Chains A and B, each alone.
Chain A
Amino acid sequence: GQNIDQPTEMTATEGAIVQINCTYQTSGFNGLFWYQQHAGEAPTFLSYNVLDGLEEKGRFSSFLSRSKGYSYLLLKELQMKDSASYLCAVRGPNDYKLSFGAGTTVTVRA
């Protein structure tokens, strides 16, 4: 099975940087995803890591360490529209099922 942990809430100031950590314990691993979900809306894809290292995409970056079972999502130059829930998800050994963490609610303050 999968056990995925991430903080429940984080607050940051507009223009700042926030790092959302995700740790996982899985019976197999075939990649880690980050999704963003605004209240009342569908989750939308942000990033995907399958090899160790940092993937950068504009203001958002995601890091993976498979040996440590650890990932983080880094949000730079925070904007008010970044206030949302951020979901960490791990793909298991069967290569299709995503198991999700409970999500981290990020609140960006002016």
Chain B
Amino acid sequence: GAGVSQSPSNKVTEKGKDVELRCDPISGHTALYWYRQSLGQGLEFLIYFQGNSAPDKSGLPSDRFSAERTGGSVSTLTIQRTQQEDSAVYLCASSPPGEKLFFGSGTQLSVL
């Protein structure tokens, strides 16, 4: 596609439920990132994928968070047993290696 696509754009869930967030990167971009943006805060790095290399998971806040990237393209971020503090905008970005990041519009997650 023309840009990074994320779905859903909005997700409201109940505390304790699992959620899956999807990211379709720009075709040909080998690097894919997930960031989290809480209200009034900067972007918090979560995880990075580059080609077939092992992902950098150093930013995942707890073991309730996981992500995978299938076939070097689409990525899914999964949050298990959601908590209210997980409420935030989850942004996905892709890039050619070492170049500027192109961001999607994000998924606004609200945990009630």
Q: Which of A's residues lie within 8 Å of B, judged by CB?
A: 4, 33, 35, 40-45, 48, 87, 89, 94-103
Other CB < 8 Å A-B pairs besides A87-B43, A100-B43, A101-B42, 12 of them? A4-B42, A33-B101, A42-B4, A43-B103, A45-B101, A96-B98, A97-B48, A97-B56, A98-B33, A98-B45, A99-B45, A100-B42
Q: Is the CB of A96 within 8 A of B31?
A: yes
Q: For A96, list chain B residues within 8 Å (CB).
A: 31, 48, 50, 56, 97-98
**B residues 8-56 with Cβ under 8 Å of A?**
31, 33, 35, 40-45, 48, 50, 56
Residue of B nearest to A101 (CB): B42
Q: Is the CB of B41 within 8 A of A102?
A: yes
Report the tally of A-B residue pairs with Cβ distances under 8 A. Answer: 49
Q: Which of B's residues lie within 8 Å of A, judged by CB?
A: 4, 31, 33, 35, 40-45, 48, 50, 56, 91, 97-98, 100-106
CB distance from B43 to the nearest CB of A (A): 4
CB distance from B71 to the nearest CB of A (A): 20
Q: For A43, list chain B residues within 8 Å (CB).
A: 43, 91, 103
State the CA gap A99–B44 with chains docked (Å): 8
Q: For B100, list chain A residues within 8 Å (CB).
A: 33, 45, 48
Q: For B43, list chain A residues within 8 Å (CB).
A: 43, 87, 89, 98, 100
Q: Which of A42, A44, A45, A87 contacts B42 (CB 8 A)?
A: A87
CB distance from B53 to the nearest CB of A (A): 10
Residue of B nearest to A98 (CB): B101
Residue of A nearest to B9 (CB): A40
Q: For A102, list chain B residues within 8 Å (CB).
A: 40-42
Q: For B50, list chain A residues within 8 Å (CB).
A: 96
